[in-house]
Amino acid sequence: MNSNDKKNYSVNLHRLYLKEKREALGRTVMDVGDLIGISSDYYCQIENGFRGKRLSVKMLLQIADALEMNLCDAIQGEKDFIKEKDRMTEKLERVSSG
């Protein structure tokens, strides 16, 4: 298989650290979207791992503020999310390549 034939695989994982914090505060995705100035659909896609493979610092700051999170906890949650997503994507690529 040459480099032109290689498929790009991606795994969608949920950002459970965001969902758990949001639910602990009794907030909806609409509440969080309103607090950070984006649509609830867009925020839901972030939380469900379909958007923002790597969130910008600005977006992470806004989300952390809306969820009353310590910034270090938000960064660690995002770091763990990225690490797991990359690990699962690599595993999928190995399995698919035979």
pTM (two decimals):
0.81
For the record, the structure tokens of 18 come out as 């965001």
Radius of gyration of the chain (CA): 15
Helix (H, G, I), strand (E, B) or coil at 22: helix
Domain boundaries, the chain: 16-92
> What would be the CATH architecture of the domain defined by 16-92?
Orthogonal Bundle (1.10)
Digit-by-digit pLDDT tens for the chain (98 residues) are 444 444 555 566 899 999 999 999 999 999 999 999 999 999 999 999 988 678 999 999 999 999 999 999 999 999 999 999 889 888 888 888 76
